[in-house]
Structure 1
Amino acid sequence: MILEKIREKGYAGSRSTLSQYIANLRRLQKNGDKPVIRHHRVSPRSAAKLLTQQREHVKDDDIPYFNTLLAEVDGASVANELVQSFYRLMKTRNGAGLDDWLEKAMSCGIRELRNFAIGMRKDYDAVYAGISQPWSNGQVEGQVNRLKTLKRQMYGRASFSLLRARVLSSAL
């Protein structure tokens, strides 16, 4: 009955989303908490995106949820601070702060950040150079990706001479 009434007003969501929303409202009212009104359900991917965005880029609609996420989810504020500090390292090209950041990431208690730090330590020299040096191999990597895409598209369908012609024609 509720679903039919709100569908008349333009609701396009599913029955399960509505059920989850109503259950959440009832739970919050039972506990005496004030609900945070959202227009849509936030997926784990959206929550991760919010935590990794710069605060000034968070949309106005998402600010209440963002604040609730930081306040109520274990490790969310730590993860947000580590991501923001890594962004500052990259932006300011502060390679000297990398060791301190890696130590914080290793001891933060968040498995994903710890694994990220372990991976960075395996190739520490390249990461340090990438943060502190002004050069980038992005253009080279882009060309390699383009060539591999062309090769995959043509695999088993044409000869090397046709592949060469396509590569050379797209380079002009």
Structure 2
Amino acid sequence: MIDIETHRVIDLIPSRDCEEVVKWLKSYPNLHVVSRDGSITYKKTITISHPKAIQVSDRFHILKNLTSYCKDYLMKYFKAKVIIDIETKMEVINTTTKSTIQNKKLTLEEKITKAIQLLDDGLGKSQICRQLNMDIRVFNKLLAMNNYERSAYLKSSLQISHEKKGERKLELIATVRDRHNNKYSIRAIARNLSMACEAVTKYLDETVSAINGNYGVKRKSILDPFLEEINKLIDKGFTSSEIGNLIRLNGYNGSDITIRHYIDRLKKSNHEIYINNKTSHCTAELVERTKLLKLLYNPIIKVKGLSIETLNKVNEKYPRYKEIIDLVSEFRTILKSKAITKINKWMEQACSLNNKFINSFIHGITRDITAVKNAIIYDYNNGLAEGSVNKLKVIKRIMYRRNSFDMLYKKLLWLEKNRKIN
């Protein structure tokens, strides 16, 4: 406990137990204003012992909590290097990069077909491989093969397996039809070939094919109806389990692992965009995340290596970042200008972002809103207490292993009593 007038330590207690702190505070009946941090325990003890005392939450701790929550969110929102395209104002990849990404989605068979066409058009091998995202050694190997060898080489294990299954099915269809032509009944064919009668009847149909009708058709994902909502939640920093809980309210009945796999594919896709920008010599600027985080604490003129022009590009490309920085800046202005009438509107604006990190901060100050508003109105703060705690720790370290609370208590108060006030 520090006196606001004299700046001296008055007393200290070796406990944070509610009952003991209440008893301790009641021994000082003349307390009218108490500056403290955001601890709900201290709020409770002061309210019990001095219900009429004005409680002031420390501005430094309030602002520190806000910036910590915002930093945690931005650490997830940004990678270590933030990509900015200098040539375009929006997140647009240049034509070369677009072509590279599209070519990356081609199969190897489609790539070699396109490569041969480009080779006939007079393009060099290195240029073709760079454009189609191919290894030049694979290109040379395929180029040396004839059509039959190339076709066999390009078949995947899935295609080979599918072809073998198709061949076996064709043989079975031929056997069924041959026996039926030899006057076997459907029941007899089914019994001899260990098949269902329905399958035999189906194979006797001239329009039936050995190829499955769903082969090569991409199946619909269980996530498809919820992708727009999932993307918004990812942008706000929600984890896969949290996203799963939210979209289940709208009818999703899948697992969290499916959502996690989607998020991983999305991150991989974004990483490929960055790599393609880098390898295709796209004119792009990289901004360090640490520089952008510094704007939570300092104005841009105090951040080295970050220009207003670059910041404008970041704000335009990542509007969520601008919202966070503006929110912190406005809160700092409210504290400095003592604009108590604006705090409720600011809280509404912060809640409208629907960001779980910001919501945690809002929940915290709402529980202690009276003390927070007093922090805006009054000039009292916890600076004296923080400085005295620092002094206390220095004395404690000096007395290491020769210390007890009673000795520390007497030494600190003796030093405070004999300290001259500037």
Q: Which runs of no fewer than 5 residues in structure 2 stay unpaired?
A: 1-79, 81-271
CA distance, structure 2, for counterparts of residue 162 and residue 146 of structure 1: 12
Q: Does 1:35 align with 2:287?
A: no
User: Which residue of structure 2 lines up, in the alignment, with residue 54 of structure 1?
Assistant: 299
Distance (Å, rounded) in 2 between the aligned partners of 1:152 and 1:106: 44
- Tell me whether 85-94 or 103-112 shows the greater mean CA deviation: 103-112
Q: Report percent identity of matched pairs.
A: 24
TM-score by length of 2: 0.30
The DSSP-based 3-state class of the residue aligned with 1:75 is: helix
The yes-or-no answer on 1:87 pairing with 2:332 is: yes
Q: CA deviation digits over 1:121-153, x for unaligned, max 9? A: 111011101012223342134224432554466
Q: Deviations over 1:52-107 (max 9, x none)?
A: 43244333x21254333322235101101111111110111111111111111112
TM, length-normalised to structure 1: 0.65
Q: Distance in 2 between matches of 1:124 and 1:166?
A: 34
More strand by share: 2
**Aligned 8 A contact 1:107 1:114 in 2:** no
Whether contact under 8 Å (2:334, 2:342) holds in the other structure is yes
Secondary structure of 1:62's counterpart equals: coil
What secondary structure is seen at the aligned counterpart in 2 of 1:113? Answer: helix
Q: 1:27 to 1:140 in 2, by over 3 A?
A: same
* Aligned 1:1-172 pairs, distance under 5 A: 24=274, 27=277, 30=280, 32=282, 34-36=283-285, 42-43=288-289, 45-59=290-304, 61-63=305-307, 64-148=309-393, 150-151=395-396, 154=399, 156-159=401-404, 160-161=406-407, 164-165=410-411, 168-169=414-415, 172=419
Aligned-pair CA distance for 1:112: 1.9
Seen in structure 2, the aligned counterparts of structure 1 residues 161 and 65 have a Cα distance that, compared at 3 Å, is: same
| 1:27-60 deviations in Å (ceiling 9; x for gaps) | 157495x32256xxx24x543222443244333x
> Aligned partner of 1:134: which letter?
D
8 Å CA contact 1:151, 1:163 repeated in 2: no
The answer to whether the 8 A contact 2:334-2:340 is kept is yes
Task: Determine which structure has greater relative contact order: mean sequence separation of CA pairs < 8 Å that are 6+ residues apart, divided by chain length.
Answer: 2
Corresponding position of 1:7: none
Q: Is the 8 A contact 2:350 2:358 kept in 1?
A: yes
Distance 1:140 1:89 in 2: 24
> Which of structures 1 and 2 has the bigger CA Rg?
2
Q: Which has the higher helix share?
A: 1
Q: How far apart, in 1, do the equivalents of 2:361 and 2:320 lie?
A: 16
| Native 8 Å contact 2:396 2:408 kept in 1 | no
Secondary structure of 1:140's counterpart equals helix
Is 2:340–2:373's contact at 8 Å kept on the other side of the alignment?
yes
